[in-house]
Structure 1
Amino acid sequence: MKNPYMPKKYTIIDIQHQTDIDYTFRVACDIKPKNGQFVEVSIPKIGEAPISISDFGDGYIDMTIRRVGKVTNYLHGLKPGDAMYLRGPYGNGFSLEQYKNKHLVIAAGGTGLAPVKSIINYFHRNPEEIQKLDLLIGFKSPKDILFREEIEEWMKNKKFHVTVTVDKGDESWTGNVGLITQFVPKIDIPDEDNLEVIIVGPPLMMKFTGLEFLQRKIKEEQIWVSFERKMSCGIGKCGHCKIDETYVCLEGPVFHYTKAKQLID
């Protein structure tokens, strides 16, 4: 019988430094994920951590990893050609078919941009499959901005309307300052029935951004969120990610707002 906890060894083929503490690792592998899924990354004798898949293609996946603890500290010391161990993918992910030919709004806060980046890139490459895409992207400060080059490319897409904002600017920042919630009322929504909304970020950001869309008479069934939680086993056995009777690693991390609003720790 196959051991579901047994990871497989893969090779790092590229590392991009996004910020001082956020690196994107491209790993050569045969994992074929869905948008929004995650993997468990492990290093022998060090530990294991759940990491969102920020993009993927034929023969590789990307993971944008923030240095926040023992495992991620070790990973940030690796270089191309080194190995890491992965198992997965886990979770239900987003369904691209749900968003095709729709007006899609994606609101992402901080590292919450990583789980939805593959969706954005898909519609960037296939603009004929989307009616319109509004991006609200928020970061704590200018130095915390992720995927700068890709954001610049998204801004050139005629189907996209991209708003980048920071909680607190500096003397070099000439862009928007303020929370994502401030920009929700400014989105042009000509047809409410053809709208889908994705919100990913810290819990408070998701809560109040969701409330802003509800204020605009958007139905709960049109809003999707993704929970960033500590997934330990990834297969619904350990209970680390459990909220009431819901195992986030199995039923999530992507939820309809109708379900997500009930998931309170």
Structure 2
Amino acid sequence: MTELNPYIPFLSEITEVIKHTEIEFTFRMTYSGDVKPGQFFEVSLPKFGEAPISVSGIGDGTVDLTIRKVGKVTDEIFENYVGDTLFLRGPYGNGFDIANYKGKEILLVAGGTGLSPVKGIVDYFSAHPEDCKGFTLLVGFKSPKDVLFKKDFEEWEKNLNVIMTVDTPEDGYCGKCGLVTQYIPEIPIKNSDEAVGIVVGPPMMMKCTITELFNVGFKEENIWISQERKMCCGIGKCGHCKIDDTYICLDGPVFNYTKGKFLKD
């Protein structure tokens, strides 16, 4: 029996394009199969290359891929709209396991585009608030114009404790300002010994956030992170994402902090 070549992508149709900012769109793609928040697909276009994109939403026969226009491949992807097709490989990586968080108090802290790979977790507990003892989403953006998933925030706020902050306010902005870390001590966690923390964002933001979680009593074995690295092959062959003996594309990108704390370049 001939094995399929894991490098060969499949065609996926764009069913919807959602604009968040001038350089960040969500492409809703056809896909049937198992997928978890935090996993990623390699998205490609012939002659232009491919790029790893995290899953930002899971639907019935679709996945959402939120893409930032920052280079050759993503620039070309932005020229494609509903009815067009892109090539996908994946999903890759281990993702976030919702079962790890059910029945717990949950504090999810995200910075900027770090909200994309954990959006599926927020979506799940927003739709099933009875499955946890409490859920706080704390997310920071550079400015009001950089806010992603604005319509989703309106839904999340109905069932979850949502705190959004920006680094640089603009005229007319009436929300919270400052770093996400300054709001962690204010969050009403009933039992920090058993509460779970999920942290995704720029490396320095993650480091400072985890320090604050320790300060309010979180245990390191109850914290999960997602490592952001350039993942090329997705199957542990090229070595681009290797840190010591760990392949981020295979062993991650999601790690419990007891393992993730050792992953340093």
TM class, shorter-length: over 0.9
Preserved CA contact (<8 Å) 1:31 1:60: no
- Describe the SS at the equivalent of 2:197: strand
Tell me the distance in 1 between the aligned counterparts of 2:225 and 2:261. 10
Tell me the distance in 2 between the aligned counterparts of 1:252 and 1:26. 24
Preserved CA contact (<8 Å) 1:100 1:130: yes
Deviation per CA, 1:65-93, whole angstroms, max 9, x where unpaired?
A: 00011010001111101110001000011
Question: Does residue 24 of the first structure (1) align with residue 13 of the second (2)?
Answer: no
Deviation per CA, 1:220-255, whole angstroms, max 9, x where unpaired?
A: 101100011111000001011111111100110011
Identity %: 54
TM, length-normalised to structure 1: 0.97
Question: Does residue 179 of the first structure (1) align with residue 182 of the second (2)?
Answer: no
Tell me the distance in 2 between the aligned counterparts of 1:17 and 1:58. 21
Tell me the distance in 1 between the aligned counterparts of 2:206 and 2:190. 23
Question: Does residue 233 of the first structure (1) align with residue 233 of the second (2)?
Answer: yes
Tell me the distance in 1 between the aligned counterparts of 2:13 and 2:188. 44
List aligned pairs for 1:163-174, cutoff 5 A. Answer: 163-174=163-174
Name the counterpart of 2:147.
Answer: 145
| Cα displacement (A) at 1:153 | 1.4
Runs of 4+ in structure 1 deviating by more than 6 angstroms, as ranges, are none
TM, length-normalised to structure 2: 0.97
Name the counterpart of 1:255.
Answer: 255
In the alignment, which of 6, 11, 14 is matched to residue 16 of structure 2?
Answer: 14
- Which is further off, 185-194 or 126-135? 185-194
Tell me the distance in 2 between the aligned counterparts of 1:244 and 1:205. 23
- Describe the SS at the equivalent of 2:95: coil
Preserved CA contact (<8 Å) 1:31 1:61: no
| Cα displacement (A) at 1:32 | 2.4
List aligned pairs for 1:178-257, cutoff 5 A. Answer: 178-257=178-257
| Cα displacement (A) at 1:58 | 1.6
Structure 2: runs of 5 or more not aligned: none
Preserved CA contact (<8 Å) 2:39 2:54: yes
Tell me the distance in 1 between the aligned counterparts of 2:158 and 2:67. 27
| Cα displacement (A) at 1:256 | 1.1
Preserved CA contact (<8 Å) 1:225 1:260: yes
| Code of the aligned partner of 2:49 | G
Deviation per CA, 1:24-82, whole angstroms, max 9, x where unpaired?
A: 00011224211211010010111000000001122110010000110100011111011
Name the counterpart of 1:74.
Answer: 76
Q: Give the total of aligned pairs.
A: 263
Question: Does residue 97 of the first structure (1) align with residue 99 of the second (2)?
Answer: yes
Name the counterpart of 1:156.
Answer: 158
| Cα displacement (A) at 1:194 | 2.7
Preserved CA contact (<8 Å) 1:181 1:208: yes
Preserved CA contact (<8 Å) 1:43 1:71: yes
| Aligned alpha-carbon RMSD (Å) | 0.9
Preserved CA contact (<8 Å) 2:194 2:218: no
- Describe the SS at the equivalent of 1:101: coil
Preserved CA contact (<8 Å) 1:40 1:50: yes
Tell me the distance in 1 between the aligned counterparts of 2:34 and 2:78. 24
Name the counterpart of 1:114.
Answer: 116
